[in-house]
């Protein structure tokens, strides 16, 4: 008969096999470097079968009961450390199986149908062609990131209007090519598990709270930021005309000039260097992880950044297992606005990678992005890192043009003048997804038609965002299509609430964030090392001494332009007085690829990797020109 230790070790090893197989096929499929969709679908089913095995729950409880009853006790009447660690590890596995278990044959059958249906939609969408009309009146094929960059930075209204229309066309394509059937099947699956609908099921699974508990937080935030959002939109319409608040004009109307002014100071070719230097000065250590970065947009590649870890970090019987992490962005180096957007994604996904590389528990179940891991907890790590890019001291230090000149104060001020009035809008553009998905999954099946869903999308955008149509229409958001991210988008907003709570703590403690070498070790100790062994709220409390509080984000949303500029001026003044933090070794093996092509690595040094990447990007830019 297996001992509890043997059972635990077998869980660890069996999970690693299933998880790695699924994640490596996920990567090659989503990066369009192989045509193995059927193999990926089969591997996803095998992994799902593993984590949804309900019989594990009783087995683990039995082992835990035996350990509790028969534990060795020393002279101090304390359980020995090995026994405690084993119990903690088994409790981690218990939480995973309780979050994902499918007990009945019907539940398992419906889950398999969901995987198949989603795979079919994914394959069809890969072949869906999106285009916009360029300055010369020509139809140009474009990805989601390219279309989004057009809306932010193109000074040609025809380009912006046709790019926005491409989003709207994608919405209708999605509604006519399997999404409605997916919604119905998701609801059927959730009801088989005892929930009213898939949204209720997902909120419990991803955030361990009910829909009512979630909307107590969201409704309060909506109320706190409503007037600021309405006021900013009314002011824009009064100053620039009603055309300015149309979906295709909105972003450019308030931020286009500032985005173009910043663009020469944030070339994508310098993004890797900025990431390496910034993270190393924050003293972020990747604990020996192997990182693969695929950063450029290309045909067939999944059109949204993500970070997954085929090998989760953990301590295997005292031996450290470093993580293997893949992350991606969709940069278009020659397009205005794409440099800053690409850097943002690099910092965001690099933050995820730092998290998943530093979980020090004794089982891989603690170091993965799926339930019982809270999405808000996972996104707090990445969004904290990308929040640094908006800080004036970070921009002054790292945003430099080809002549090495730092971004001027007037450009930073212009960014604040254009973006601060719409800070609340930015957060509400996350908020809107939760309101839409809740209403969508509450609809009766007979009402789930393209017309009614489109009407719901526009109505929700008007209610929450204050616009007749969003610049990024709801059903053009990739997260809504994927089972692992559907009905979880609110995690980004909950995370940003935690981000600004974390930032406030560090500012109060240290007075600055950018290049602060105290930050990496503190994040590692309080946020990363425990993994999902503690709750999101408990991790925040561990660092700050205070439980989760949405007030900090709401306060930032409601700052005036003058108040925001005053804060940034202080950061720039402090930067000139600070001694530059030394660069630490980020302790990772890094490969930067474009599909199957190696662009750069740090086999020789981080510096050479950044030089090689810069040369590769500049070569690509010259070819485009």
Q: What is the pLDDT of residues 357-396, one digit of tens each?
A: 999 999 999 998 889 999 999 999 999 999 999 999 999 9
Contact 434, 206 (CB under 8 A): no
Give domain status of residue 315, yes or no.
yes
**36, 70, 101 - which closes a domain:** 101
Distance CA 508, CA 510 (A): 6
d(CA 600, CA 592): 5
Distance CA 567, CA 559 (A): 10
Query: What would the two tokens of residue 294 be?
Result: 């695929």
In this predicted structure, the answer to whether residue 148 has a pLDDT above a threshold of 50 is: yes
Does residue 83 lie within any of the structural domains?
Answer: yes
Contact (CB, 8 A) for 224 and 554: yes
Q: Compute φ and ψ for 530, nearest 5 degrees.
A: -70, -20
Residue 586 lies in a domain: yes
Domain that holds residue 346: 267-408+489-624
Is residue 599 within 8 A of residue 593, CB to CB? The reply is: yes
**Averaged pLDDT, 388-409:** 96
At residue 547 the predicted structure's pLDDT band, cuts being 50, 70 and 90, is: very high
Residue 207 lies in a domain: no
Give the containing element (helix H, strand E) for 521: helix 519-523
In angstroms, rounded to a whole number, what is the distance separating the alpha carbons of residues 193 and 57? 16
Q: What is the pLDDT of residue 348?
A: 96
Residue 339 reports pLDDT greater than 90: no
CA distance linking residue 149 with residue 331, whole number of Å:
10
Could you say which of 70, 101, 132 is where a domain stops?
101
| 375-387 helix and 490-510 helix, angle to the nearest 10 degrees | 50
Q: What's the average model confidence in pLDDT over 492-499? A: 98
Instruction: Please report where in the chains the tokens 């921009």 appear, as a residue.
Output: 395
Residue with tokens 């553009």: 429
Q: What is the CATH number of the domain that holds 320?
A: 1.10.1370.40
* Tokens representing residue 480 in the block: 């809504």
Classify residue 57: in a domain, yes or no.
Answer: yes
Statement: residue 261 has pLDDT above 70: yes
- Residue 323 · residue 357 · CB < 8 Å: yes
Q: Whole-angstrom Cα distance, residue 193 to residue 355?
A: 31
Kindly report whether the global pTM for this prediction surpasses the value 0.85. Answer: yes
CA atoms of 251 and 150, how far apart (whole Å): 10
Dist CA 468 CA 430 (whole Å): 16
- Chain segment 560-583, per-residue pLDDT in tens: 999 999 999 999 999 989 998 899
- Between the CA atoms of 406, 412, 415 and 419, what dihedral angle is there, to the nearest 10 degrees? 130
DSSP assignment string, 4-71: HHHHHHHHHHHHHHHHHHHHHHHHHHHTTS---HHHHHHHHHHHHHHHTBTHHHHHHHHHHHHHHHH-
CB atoms within 10 A of CB 566: 12
| Three-state helix/strand/coil letters over 212-225 | HHHHHHHHHHHHHH
Q: Identify the pLDDT of residue 157.
A: 97
Q: Is residue 557 part of a domain?
A: yes
* 399 burial type by CB count under 10 A (0-12 exposed, 13-18 middle, 19+ buried): buried
Nearest CA to 53 out of 97, 91, 90, 9 is that of: 97
Whether residue 280 is predicted with pLDDT greater than 50 in this model: the reply is yes
Per the domain annotation, does 124 fall within a domain? no
Which of 67, 101, 135 represents a domain boundary (last residue)? Answer: 101
The domain total for the chain is 2
Lowest mean pLDDT among 221-225, 339-343, 539-543, 610-614: 339-343
| Cβ–Cβ under 8 Å, residues 593 and 292 | yes
Give CA–CA dist 306/23, Å, rounded. 12
pLDDT reading at 76 higher than 80: no
Taking alpha carbons only, the member of 92, 108, 82, 113 closest to residue 3 is: 82
Residue 443 belongs to some domain of the structure:
no
């Amino acid at each position: 008969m297996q001992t509890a230790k043997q059972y635990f070790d077998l869980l660890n090893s069996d999970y690693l096999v299933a998880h790695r197989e699924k994640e490596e096929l996920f990567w090659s499929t989503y990066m369009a470097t192989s045509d193995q969709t059927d193999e990926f679908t089969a591997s996803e089913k095998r992994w799902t079968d593993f984590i949804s095995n309900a019989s594990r729950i009783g087995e683990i409880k039995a082992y835990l009961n035996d350990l509790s009853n028969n534990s060795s006790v020393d002279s101090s009447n304390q359980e020995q450390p090995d026994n405690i660690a084993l119990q903690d590890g088994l409790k981690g596995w218990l939480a995973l199986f309780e979050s994902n278990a499918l007990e009945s044959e019907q539940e398992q059958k419906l889950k398999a149908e969901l995987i198949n249906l989603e795979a079919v939609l994914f394959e069809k969408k890969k072949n869906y062609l999106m285009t916009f009309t360029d300055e010369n009146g020509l139809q140009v094929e474009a990805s989601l990131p390219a279309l989004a960059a057009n809306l932010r930075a193109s000074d040609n209204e025809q380009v912006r209007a046709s790019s926005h229309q491409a989003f709207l066309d994608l919405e209708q394509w999605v509604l006519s090519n399997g999404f409605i059937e997916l919604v119905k099947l998701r609801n059927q699956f959730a009801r088989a598990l005892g929930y009213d609908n898939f949204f209720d099921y997902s909120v419990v699974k991803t955030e361990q709270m009910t829909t009512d508990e979630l909307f107590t937080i969201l409704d309060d935030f909506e109320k706190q930021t409503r007037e600021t959002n309405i006021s900013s939109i009314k002011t824009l319409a009064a100053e620039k005309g009603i055309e300015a608040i149309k979906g295709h004009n909105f972003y450019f109307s308030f931020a286009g000039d500032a985005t173009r002014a910043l663009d020469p100071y944030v070339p994508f070719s310098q993004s890797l260097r900025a990431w390496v230097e910034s993270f190393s000065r924050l003293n972020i250590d990747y604990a020996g992880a192997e990182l693969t970065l695929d950063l450029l947009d290309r045909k067939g590649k999944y059109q949204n950044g993500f970070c997954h870890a085929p090998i989760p970090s953990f301590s295997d019987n005292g031996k450290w297992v470093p993580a293997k992490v893949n992350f991606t962005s969709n940069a278009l180096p020659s397009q205005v606005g794409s440099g800053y957007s690409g850097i943002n994604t690099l910092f965001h996904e690099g933050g995820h990678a730092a998290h998943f590389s530093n979980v020090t528990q004794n089982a891989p179940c603690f170091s993965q992005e799926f339930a019982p891991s809270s999405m808000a907890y996972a996104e707090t790590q990445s969004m904290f890192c990308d929040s640094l890019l908006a800080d004036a001291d970070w921009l002054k230090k790292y945003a430099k043009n080809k002549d090495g000149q730092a971004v001027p104060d007037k450009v930073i001020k212009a960014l604040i003048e254009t973006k601060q009035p719409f800070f609340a809008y930015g957060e509400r553009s996350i908020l809107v997804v939760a309101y839409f998905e809740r209403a969508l999954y509450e609809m009766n099946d007979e009402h789930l038609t393209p017309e009614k869903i489109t009407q719901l999308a526009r109505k929700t955008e008007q209610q929450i965002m204050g616009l007749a149509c969003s610049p990024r229409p709801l059903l053009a958001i990739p997260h809504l299509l994927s089972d692992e991210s559907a009905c979880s988008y609110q995690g980004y907003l909950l995370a940003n609430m935690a981000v600004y709570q974390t930032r406030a703590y560090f500012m109060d403690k240290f007075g600055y964030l950018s290049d602060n070498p105290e930050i990496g070790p503190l994040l590692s100790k309080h946020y990363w090392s425990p993994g999902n062994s503690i709750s999101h709220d408990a991790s925040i409390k561990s660092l700050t001494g205070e439980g989760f509080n949405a007030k900090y984000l709401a306060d930032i949303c409601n700052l005036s332009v003058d108040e925001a500029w005053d804060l940034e001026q202080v950061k720039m003044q402090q930067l000139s007085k600070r001694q530059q933090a030394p660069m630490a070794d980020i302790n990772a093996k890094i490969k930067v690829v474009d599909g199957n092509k190696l662009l750069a690595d740090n086999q020789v040094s981080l510096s050479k990797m950044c030089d090689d990447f810069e040369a590769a990007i500049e070569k690509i830019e010259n070819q485009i020109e």
